[in-house]
Chain A
């Protein structure tokens, strides 16, 4: 597998909402259950409002992106935050040449 192909399976998971205990654990659990590897996490807190992004690799994932989005959304409503997953290219194309 070339570096280029590896990048094709990378997604960005974003979490937005009020901070509370267990958000990272919750998201990580959904990803782990489906064999999706987390490559990087960064987060910031602005006035108790959490913004977190995860870069993850879906290469060995057991589910497709659409299904993952549904499961993350369900987990998000459980945790009271908004969770979404998008293909990494949506961001790379806009910010990198």
Chain B
């Protein structure tokens, strides 16, 4: 029998501590939609998405109501479009983006991910066509998210792709300059990208995935923060144990919602992504958890250690709570989407370099970071190269979602609105890496032994 205290704990988590299911994401394979005639392919894509996802939003809302747990987003991820559009030309790729946008609007989801390419070892014609069409695709659509995997531990780093992405990011910012470079908030550059990630903007439906599946992303930084605050000055063992137990409870809700959604939609349940995903709401911040652990401000010395403890404990607790774990699984540190990170950056406590160090011990990477509008494509490419090198060497996923905010300089602020929040423009190093990134070619895959 459940006790009164247990029931009150659950209710308190939802009502006071912002516990929610961040997203249920339906993964849909579009591999059967390829056609040499883009119009035919796009019609097949539209029909398939609107058929399979027609009840996604309604089912999400139904579960949310019956179980009393908010489900913030219902989203869709699809097969990387570079695979589906391989035989089409570059100018046709935008047509695919418009189709995804229309299908997402028709079923009522706010984001659809999968305008993506995997080029960690090299480009096919289709990959190159898709990547060069990203700026136009993101400028011309509202809901489409793009991602490009440029490196893996087994293939090394495709530096041609890294440099190209530097230029694509600049052009995307320029094309969406009126909205502060908003297009870049929907574009992620990955290393070791997972195939089943339910979180935007990096979600796509990988080639090892089934026809259709449901993946769930949990949230709950507020719940963890309050649990951490309650243990006071307890030692690290107690701290880790508390985070673990809390992560277990949060993840159980994700597991429940995932199973229910899969059952009601008649598709297999994929994975739960064990993530602490912050929102701009006060009290829903990963930075505030680190500060509750005893740091004056997120970004000061000790931050990497605190984050390492947090991330590991979340995974340990979460892994016990779910039958299938996947996706990005870890604490997210998107600057613009986290009130505590924004404050730390504004006060000068948190720098780009410290963020880079933090990404060594957590999911995912340099996320939602605004840099001055005059940052060169080469500098952005060098930032990407650094970040993916961390992923490649440490055998983990890392990512870069960076916004060179047009016309903005350090100290300014760029506002994207909603869950994307607002980002203080952060300083980049003034020294050039131009000759390094322009070399071209591929950084070889790293050795897997002699690990120091």
Interface residues of A, Cβ cutoff 8 Å to B: 12, 14, 16, 40, 42-44, 51, 53, 55, 65-66, 69, 84, 86-96
Contacts and interface: CB of A to CB of B under 8 A. Distances in A.
Contact of A93 (B1, B7, B66, B252): B252
B351 interface: no
B11 A87 contact: no
B10 A44 contact: no
Contacts of B7: 12, 14, 53, 91
A69 B252 CA distance: 24
Contacts of B256: 89-90, 93
Contact of A87 (B1, B6, B67, B252): B67
Given A40-B1, A66-B62, 17 more contacts: A12-B2, A14-B11, A51-B4, A53-B4, A55-B2, A69-B65, A86-B66, A87-B66, A87-B68, A88-B2, A90-B67, A93-B253, A93-B255, A94-B6, A94-B10, A94-B253, A95-B10
Contacts of A65: 65-66
Contacts of A94: 6, 10, 249, 252-253
B69 interface: yes
Interface string B238-274: 0000000000010011011000000000000000000
B9, B10, B62, B253 pick with most chain A CB within 10 angstroms: B10
Contact of A51 (B6, B8, B65, B66): B8
Nearest to A84: B68
A84 B255 CA distance: 23
A91 B252 CA distance: 10
Contact of B4 (A42, A86, A90, A93): A42
A44 B4 contact: yes
Interface string B323-362: 0000000000000000000000000000000000000000
A94 B2 CA distance: 10
Contacts of A66: 62, 65-66
Contacts of A92: 2
A95 B255 contact: no
Contacts of A14: 7, 11
Contacts of A69: 65
Interface in B63-81: 65-69
A40 to B, nearest CB: 7
A3 B65 CA distance: 25
Interface in B1-60: 1-2, 4, 6-11
Contacts of A51: 4, 8
Nearest to A95: B6
Contact of B2 (A16, A43, A84, A95): A95
A95 B9 CA distance: 10
A26 B31 CA distance: 56
Interface in B380-419: none
A15 to B, nearest CB: 11
B313 to A, nearest CB: 18
A45 B378 CA distance: 65
10 contacts: A42-B4, A44-B4, A66-B62, A66-B65, A91-B6, A93-B256, A94-B253, A95-B2, A95-B6, A95-B10
A90 B2 contact: no
Contacts of B4: 42-44, 51, 53
A86 B7 CA distance: 11
Contacts of A43: 4
Nearest to A11: B66
A96 B22 CA distance: 23
B100 to A, nearest CB: 32
Contacts of A96: 2
B8 A90 contact: no
Nearest to B253: A94
A44 B4 CA distance: 8
Contact of A89 (B8, B11, B67, B249): B67
Contacts of A90: 10, 67-69, 253, 256
A69 B65 CA distance: 9
A24 B2 CA distance: 20
5 nearest interchain CB pairs? A86-B68, A90-B67, A93-B256, A95-B6, A93-B252
A81 to B, nearest CB: 14
Nearest to A40: B1
A10 B249 CA distance: 20
A44 B69 CA distance: 24
B21 to A, nearest CB: 11
Contacts of B65: 65-66, 69
Nearest to B248: A94
A3 to B, nearest CB: 14
A69 B61 CA distance: 14
Contacts of B253: 90, 93-94
Nearest to A82: B15
Contacts of B1: 40
